[in-house]
Structure 1
Amino acid sequence: MAKNKFVSDYQINTSKKVIYPYLSTASGLSQWFADDVIINEDKAYNFIYDGEDHFARPTIMRINHHVKFEFFDPSDEEGGDDDPSYIEFRLDENELTQTFYLRVIDYGDTYDQQEQQDIWEGLISSLKEIIGG
Structure 2
Amino acid sequence: MPLSATRRKHRFTVEYPINASPKILYPYLASASGLSQWFCQDVRLDEDRRFNFIWDNQPHFAELNSHRTNRSARFVFLDGNKRPTSDANYLDFTLEESQLTQEVYLRVIDYSEETDDVELQEMWDNLILKLREQVGG
Corresponding position of 1:10 = 16
Unaligned runs of 5+ in 2: 1-6
Deviation at 1:80, TM superposition (A): 4.8
Deviation at 1:89, TM superposition (A): 0.3
2:121 aligned residue (114, 117, 120) = 117
Residue 30 (structure 1) aligned with residue 36 (structure 2):
yes
When normalised by structure 2's length, the TM-score is 0.92
CA distance in 1, matches of 2:44, 2:102: 34
Deviation at 1:37, TM superposition (A): 0.5
User: Paired residues, what number?
Assistant: 131
Question: Residue by residue, what CA displacement relative to the aligned partner does 1:40-73 show, whole Å, maximum 9, x if unpaired?
Answer: 0111000001111110000112100010000011
Q: Give % identity.
A: 46
Corresponding position of 1:127 = 131
Root-mean-square deviation over aligned CA pairs: 1.1
When normalised by structure 1's length, the TM-score is 0.94
Corresponding position of 1:93 = 97
Runs of 4+ displaced beyond 2 Å: none
Corresponding position of 1:84 = 88
CA distance in 1, matches of 2:84, 2:33: 29
Deviation at 1:84, TM superposition (A): 0.7
Unaligned runs of 5+ in 1: none
- More strand by percentage: 1
What is the letter of the counterpart of residue 56 of structure 1?
A: A
Deviation at 1:115, TM superposition (A): 0.2
CA distance in 2, matches of 1:85, 1:56: 9
